[in-house]
């Protein structure tokens, strides 16, 4: 099963000048339990080639939240996504 099929909400967003946040809210507890085994902190560190990842699990609401530092400040000349809206795209086809 692909993550895009298991998630009710899968989004990324700007979380300030220096941070991006990804929210993954699962359709049910089964999908959440299945996904959190693979989608751990190490997975996100490798995926985004960033060792500055903050990883949170909320079992009560079947949610994973990941935040990480940007390579450059939002809105700077080297910033490729000021709103952080495209960082979730590599997750769509991840098998869980």
- Domain holding 32: CATH number? 3.30.70
Average pLDDT of the segment spanning 24-28: 98
Work out the pLDDT band at 69, boundaries 50, 70, 90. Answer: very high
Task: Look at residue 96 and tell me if it is in a domain.
Answer: no
pLDDT per residue as tens digits for the range 28-41: 999 999 999 999 99
Give all strands (DSSP E) within the chain, no chain letters: 7-14, 19-26, 53-58, 63-69
Task: Look at residue 31 and tell me if it is in a domain.
Answer: yes
Total structural domains within the chain: 1
Please tell me whether residue 37 adopts helix, strand or coil conformation. helix
Q: What order of strands is seen across the sheet that includes strand 19-26?
A: 7-14, 19-26, 63-69, 53-58
């Amino acid at each position: 099963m692909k993550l895009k099929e298991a998630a009710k909400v899968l989004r990324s967003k700007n979380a300030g000048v220096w941070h991006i946040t990804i929210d993954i809210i699962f359709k049910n507890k089964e999908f959440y339990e299945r996904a959190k085994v693979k989608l751990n902190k190490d997975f996100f560190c490798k995926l985004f080639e960033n060792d500055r990842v903050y990883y949170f699990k909320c079992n009560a609401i079947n949610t994973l939240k990941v935040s990480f530092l940007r390579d450059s400040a939002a809105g700077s000349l080297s910033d490729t996504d000021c709103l952080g809206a495209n960082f979730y795209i590599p997750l769509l086809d991840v098998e869980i």
